[in-house]
Structure 1
Amino acid sequence: MPSVLDFSGTPQQSHEEWVKAMSESRRSSMSFHFHNTLRKEFFSSYQYLKDQLPLVKLYAVTCEYIKGEKQFYYRAQKFYEDVPASEEGMMGDFVELSEVDLEGSRQFLKKFVGGPGKAGTKRALDCGCGIGRVSKGVLFPIFETMEMADMMEEYLLHAHEEYLGDYADRVESYYCYNLKDLRLSLRRYDVVWIQWVACHLTDKDLMDFLVRCKASLRPNGVIVIKDNMARQGCKLDPVDSSIIRHLDIMKGIIQKAGLEVLDVVKQEGFPEVMVPIWMIAMR
């Protein structure tokens, strides 16, 4: 969902500095077990890309907030348990901006679908679909069939039973998974749409998911990420347990996943006080 918060970058720390700082903190305030959990589960997701892709500058999110990778995902799940299955819930109380968002998506997507050398219109996958707001407003008018994925069962049930109406008959499958656990069939989708959910994956899990998305594309298929992007650096939003990345950091993860960026466009029509929203097409 859109966010009114923006975060500046945090200083980069080397692995050695991080280990030293955490060791000192461990002696005074942390158990040995908790210290090791932080090192193994969270820091590795950032260090992974930092070691293997030195041209991409990654910003370590402080363990003060995230408290380990498992807790990071758990807190996001708990946050969305309190978000109602409605357009207001999906838009974070900015429902008046929903049509602006959908029109921006429609205009962006039509560049890559239909016609020679473009994606087909047989099937799309909506990742982090919620109640199906983007499926209904952007994807169903274009694609013959849809598949939808979200970690919240309540949202998928509401989509099927109420929100989608007659469109529900054209949904082939609903997947109730966090994207880090979602496995995709090979060469199945013309478009994979990922909106306001890439921010809920660690760098490594996002990269791994994009690798799976790439393998799931039909000829000329396209992946689209639409998400909040920080104006500088990368930092955790502790409210909904999401990582807001600078556009260059996101591009680095995409590159590491073996994908080529086709186009990048900023969503217009949102208040300047809000975090910028960017759309990235890739294959």
Structure 2
Amino acid sequence: METSNERLSLTPNENFYKDGAEYWSKIPPTVDGMLGGFSEISTTDIHSSKTLLKQLFTSTKQPLGRGYALDCGAGIGRITKFLLSDLFDRVDMVEQNPQFLESAKKYLGKTILEKKIGQMFPVGLQDFRPEPGKYDVIWCQWVLGHLTDEDFVAFFERCKLGIKPKGVIIVKENISSGQVEVDTTDSSVTRPMGLLRELFDKAGLDCCRMVKQLGFPKGLFTVYMFVLRPRHEENVGSGE
């Protein structure tokens, strides 16, 4: 059985970010493009995510605020359009591909764009620094595989500063079955559950809720949602 240190020492090649950016530069700005050809899962995906957020809004221990959300790795804004803009007053988007953000302006539509969207940041998560204390929710979905382990931890350390005192970071990610799986096509990695939890821990985050995504087609990676809070709030919201 591989040790924690051995898993954490896995390092993508030196062109990891360059290759990833090049791959996405060739992907069409459509929902099918964002979901790797599996656009049919979008409705199920959004429904499950919305159910989780609504449970957090009505928590008796620490209800989640509905003021400001951040969509990380936003693409053309699928999650912003159908999830975050529906539940929060304002949404910021961070996406390294500026062409996707331009497409998002049309995809989101005039009403959402004018009434709901705050800032659009054309930058990779490895370089992004959220404004301190701004967000009720920082939402990260199907994007963390494009970060090295070191940048993963550093990104979440910055995110801890970016959420409000009662805010959360929510991660929705594919989970591999036992070891890191490297995809050389899009320059990404899929991490096993143990490694993800270790990286959260290393960033000073505690998981107060973990939910398995149901209803996806067979053959896809298992997907989990993680609700994360800074460690000094480790007892807040746990056990719900």
User: Is the structural similarity TM-score above 0.5?
Assistant: yes
Corresponding position of 1:204: 150
**Structure 2 unaligned runs (5+)?**
230-240
CA distance in 1, matches of 2:132, 2:213: 31
SS of equivalent residue, structure 2 residue 86: coil
Higher helix share: 1
Deviations 1:101-127 (A, max 9, x none): 111111122222356512211100000
Instruction: Name the stretch that deviates more: 165-174 or 181-190.
Output: 165-174
State the alpha-carbon separation in 2 of the partners of residues 115 and 227 from structure 1: 23
Shift of 1:160: 1.4
In the other structure, the counterpart of 2:54 is: 110
Structure 1 gap ranges (5+): 1-10, 14-48, 51-56
Contact map agreement 2:179 2:192 (CA 8 A) in 1: yes
- State the percentage of identical aligned residues: 32
1:233 aligns with 2:179: yes
Number of the residue aligned with 2:232: none
Superposition map of 1:246-261 within 5 A: 246-261=192-207
Which has the higher mean CA deviation after the structures are superposed, 202-211 or 107-116?
107-116
**Which of the pair is proportionally richer in strand?**
2
C-alpha separation between the residues in 1 aligned to 2:23 and 2:92? 24
Count of residues paired in the alignment: 227
Cα distance in structure 2, aligned partners of 1:259 and 1:137: 27
TM-fit CA distance, 1:162: 3.5
Match for residue 71 of structure 2 among 116, 126, 129? 126
Whether 2:99 is the aligned partner of 1:154: answer yes
8 Å CA contact retained: 1:192, 1:223: yes
Could you say if the C-alpha distance between residues 278 and 195 of structure 1 is closer, same or farther in structure 2, counting changes exceeding 3 Å?
same
Report the TM-score, using the length of structure 1 for normalisation: 0.76
Could you list the per-position Cα deviations for residues 49-81 of structure 1 after superposition, in whole angstroms to 9, with x for gaps in the alignment?
83xxxxxx616547xxx432xx00011001101
Q: Which residue type is aligned with residue 259 of structure 1?
A: L
- 2:25 matches 1:81: yes
Bigger relative contact order (CA 8 A; separation at least 6): 1
1:187 match: secondary structure: coil
Change (3 A) 1:161 1:272: closer
2:159 aligns to what SS in structure 1?
helix
Distance in 2 (CA, whole Å) between partners of 1:108 and 1:164 is 25
Aligned mates of 1:120, 1:113 — CA distance in 2: 7
Structure with the greater alpha carbon radius of gyration: 1
SS in structure 1 opposite 2:56? Answer: coil
Q: Tell me, what secondary structure is at the counterpart of 1:112?
A: helix
Letter aligned with residue 206 of structure 1: F
Structure 1 equivalent of residue 166 of structure 2:
220
What is the distance in 2 between the residues matched to 1:133 and 1:185?
23
Q: Does 1:264 align with 2:199?
A: no
* RMSD after superposition: 1.8
Task: State the SS of the aligned residue for 2:70.
Answer: strand
Q: Is the 8 A contact 2:31 2:78 kept in 1?
A: yes
The whole-number CA distance in structure 1 between the counterparts of 2:58 and 2:111 is 24
The offset of 1:240, in angstroms, is 0.8
TM-score by length of 2: 0.89
> What are the equivalent positions in structure 2 for 1:9-20 lying under 5 Å apart?
12=2
Instruction: Tell me the distance in 1 between the aligned counterparts of 2:107 and 2:228.
Output: 33
What is the identity, as a one-letter code, of the residue corresponding to 1:224? I
Distance 2:135 2:29 in 1: 26
Pairing 1:167–2:116 present? no
Deviation, 1:227, is 1.1
Q: What is the SS of the residue equivalent to 2:75?
A: coil
